């Protein structure tokens, strides 16, 4: 049966599509290419359109007899969600509602949802487990949590079963350098430091140096995109084996500070990056690290790239490729 991947031309979705294609799964990608790229879709059929277009989604589900939806399409920039919340509720929440409506009408069996650690807000001690209170501090996190609730309630009322994967900080790129993080004006720290290392940015801004952390900068749990993508395939196998609906954290269970990420890049290149210390950004927690034993136990997920230096090395290699082939960032 065919899998629909929404947002499959984007950073994370394209890595999942690649792994699905390598496993000979039948894939249809739905992406409006607002932040995704045609060149990133290495397998399956690409349909250009919006997840909020219920008529289009319904037609895709019927014509391709879709059994599983993997839903990545979303806006993801925290500061932008604070300044323009309705954009995030419109795209992340309302479009997901339309997608779920179409799923119900088409009898879709399985749903894998791309959620975020931002649903936890500022967890006690900076460590978040799946049963930690969900108290998002920005509209991005709230928009994703509302989608989780809709999915939960629909599954309670219908035969639909789901896996919600709450991502921590996704980083790195395809080890084969076929696809990577190509988003223009990205805010992901590992992407920012890689751009600075190749001269695309004049400096790296450190937003907040007075957090209650070891060095005063924010601490995050960085997970390699390749490991995150493999968790989605494990989630698919779990649902096909009649697994019950579940919500799982996707992280490594330990964190690194902003200064540690920057110093790792400095060590790799031998050229210290220029940094600029700035005030805290709205919506940023001091520390956010996953308690992520459940995803390993339930899905049998075993990370292969849990190494900060390897993650940053892959990010740097991809950034150098973008310098050589700028067409990769055009549709």
Give the residue numbers marked as catalytic: 140
Contact at 8 Å (CB) between 317 and 244?
Answer: no
Query: Kind of pairing, strands 219-220 and 256-257?
Result: antiparallel
Contact at 8 Å (CB) between 242 and 318?
Answer: no
To 10 degrees, the CA torsion angle through 200, 202, 205, 209?
140
Write out the chain in H/E/C secondary structure.
Answer: CEEEEECCCCHHHHHHHHHHHHCCCCEEEEECCCCCCHHHCCCCEEEECCCCCHHHHHHHHHHCCEEEEEECCCCCCHHHHHHCHHHHHHHHHHHHHHHHHHHHHHCCCEEEEEEEHHHHCCCHHHEECCCCCCCCCCHHHHHHHHHHHHHHHHHHHCCCEEEEEEECEEECCCCCCCCCCCCCCCCCHHHHHHHHHCCCCCCEEEECCCCCCCCCCCEECEEEHHHHHHHHHHHHHHHHCCCCCEEEEECCCCCEEHHHHHHHHHHHHCCCCCEEEECCCCCCCCEEEECCCHHHHHHCCCCCCCCHHHHHHHHHHHHHHHHHCHHHHCC
Contact at 8 Å (CB) between 30 and 6?
Answer: yes
Structure tokens at 174: 């395809």
How far is Cα of residue 103 from the mean position of the Cα atoms in its chain?
Answer: 22
Structure tokens at 160: 């639909």
């Amino acid at each position: 049966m065919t899998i629909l991947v929404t947002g499959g031309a984007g950073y994370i979705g394209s890595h999942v599509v690649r792994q699905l294609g390598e496993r000979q799964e039948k894939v249809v990608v739905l992406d409006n290419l607002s932040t995704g790229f045609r060149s990133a879709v290495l397998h399956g059929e690409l349909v250009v359109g919006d997840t909020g277009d219920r008529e289009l989604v319904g037609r895709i589900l019927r014509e391709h007899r879709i059994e599983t939806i993997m839903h990545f399409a979303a806006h993801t920039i925290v500061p932008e969600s604070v300044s323009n919340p309705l954009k995030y509720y419109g795209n992340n929440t309302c479009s997901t509602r339309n997608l779920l409506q179409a799923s119900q009408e088409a009898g879709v069996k399985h749903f894998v949802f791309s959620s975020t650690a931002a649903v936890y807000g500022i967890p006690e001690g900076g460590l978040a487990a799946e049963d930690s209170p969900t108290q998002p501090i920005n509209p991005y996190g709230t928009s994703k949590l509302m989608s989780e609730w809709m999915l939960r309630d629909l599954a309670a009322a219908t035969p639909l079963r789901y896996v919600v994967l709450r991502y921590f900080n996704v980083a790195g790129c395809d080890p084969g350098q076929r696809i990577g993080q190509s988003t223009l004006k990205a805010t992901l720290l590992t992407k920012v430091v890689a751009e600075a290392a190749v001269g695309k940015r004049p400096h790296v801004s450190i937003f907040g140096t007075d957090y209650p952390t070891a060095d005063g900068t924010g601490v995050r749990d960085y997970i390699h995109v390749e490991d995150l993508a493999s968790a989605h395939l494990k989630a698919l196998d779990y649902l096909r084996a009649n697994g019950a609906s579940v919500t799982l954290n996707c992280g490594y269970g330990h964190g690194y500070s902003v200064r540690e990420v920057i110093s790792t890049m400095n060590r790799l290149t031998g050229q210290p990056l220029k940094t600029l210390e700035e005030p805290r950004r709205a919506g940023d927690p001091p520390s956010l690290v996953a308690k992520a034993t459940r995803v390993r136990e339930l899905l049998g997920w075993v990370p292969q790239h849990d190494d900060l230096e390897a993650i940053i090395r892959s990010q740097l290699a991809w950034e150098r490729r973008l310098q050589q082939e700028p067409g990769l960032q055009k549709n």
